[in-house]
């Protein structure tokens, strides 16, 4: 594995714990506009590809950082057990109902460019544990390889990447994204226990490696299909407020809050609030 940095390429042997720690210690990983101090989105991620060894190092680093977190997740054993039982029942029921529609959309994607209609991507969940998150493919087949070409066009103010005019998005993919249909296969991740219905959105490794310890707090609980920021504008929410919303959820989560966020998520999807 070769990792491109600003100065040169790093070999797999150089992707050590010390290297990841040095990135984590950076107190201002987000670039700023000269003379203004206004945060803009990351346009040059130091690591684009992670093999199993690098993911293991990152996982260990996140776990160690979270051991010193001052945030205590709300809810107890009963909450966790009931939440998991609900996730299983809800995801299994939804998949049974949506299997045919998902199949039809997958067929349409295949007919459009003859490529695999499903896409999986490594994300991180509770304590930084890596897993493969599933989606209906909305980009060209070589989208991951082409990320280096488009990363400088980041339109967010934080560590996540968003571009309204990303050339990798297919015509059909744009429609699926606006309707949030591409996210439906993640119900499989929920059923498998890798995600929950409600919880912070699972981030990419290339984003987490730039997190401050405070931002890593959003990995204290299992990732989910939706959380506070998804109900308040998704892509329109500033990164810092996104993190604040996730931490607020972690500190106050309950059966009532989860139910409230589920209802608000349905409304956000119908109104296409912040969908891109």
Q: Place 20 in a pLDDT band, splitting at 50, 70 and 90.
A: low
Report the mean per-residue pLDDT for the chain: 85
Residue 270: per-residue pLDDT: 85
- What angle in degrees, to the nearest 10, is found between the helix axes of 255-270 and 77-113? 20
Q: Place 269 in a pLDDT band, splitting at 50, 70 and 90.
A: confident
Whether residue 266 is predicted with pLDDT greater than 60 in this model: the reply is yes
The enclosing H or E element of 134 equals strand 130-136
- Residue for token pair 């506009």: 33
Q: What is the pTM of this model?
A: 0.83
Cβ atoms of 168 and 143 closer than 8 Å: yes
pLDDT digits (tens, 9 = 90+) for 218-227: 999 999 999 9
């Amino acid at each position: 594995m070769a990792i491109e940095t600003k100065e040169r390429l790093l070999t797999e042997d150089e992707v050590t714990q010390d290297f990841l720690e040095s990135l984590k210690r950076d107190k201002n990983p987000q670039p700023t506009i000269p003379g203004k101090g206004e945060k803009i989105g990351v346009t040059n991620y130091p690591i684009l590809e992670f093999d199993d060894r690098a993911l293991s190092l990152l996982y260990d680093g996140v776990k160690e950082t979270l051991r010193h977190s001052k945030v205590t997740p709300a809810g107890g054993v009963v909450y966790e057990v009931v939440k998991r039982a609900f996730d299983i029942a809800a995801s299994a029921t939804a998949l049974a109902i949506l299997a045919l529609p998902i199949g039809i959309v997958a067929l349409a994607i295949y007919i459009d460019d003859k490529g695999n209609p499903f896409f999986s991507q490594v994300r991180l969940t509770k304590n930084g544990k890596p897993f493969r998150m599933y989606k209906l493919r909305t980009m060209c087949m070589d989208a991951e390889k082409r990320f280096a070409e488009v990363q400088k066009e980041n339109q967010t103010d934080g560590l996540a990447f968003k571009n309204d005019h990303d050339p990798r998005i297919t015509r059909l993919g744009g429609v699926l994204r606006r309707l949030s249909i591409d996210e439906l296969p993640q119900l499989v991740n929920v059923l498998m226990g890798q995600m929950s219905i409600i919880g912070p959105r699972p981030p990419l490794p290339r984003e987490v490696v730039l997190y401050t310890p405070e931002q890593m707090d959003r990995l204290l609980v299992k990732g989910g299909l939706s959380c506070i920021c998804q109900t308040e504008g998704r892509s329109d929410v500033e990164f810092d407020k996104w993190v604040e919303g996730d931490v607020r959820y972690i500190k106050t989560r309950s059966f009532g809050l989860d139910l409230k966020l589920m209802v608000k998520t349905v409304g956000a999807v119908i109104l296409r609030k912040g969908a891109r």
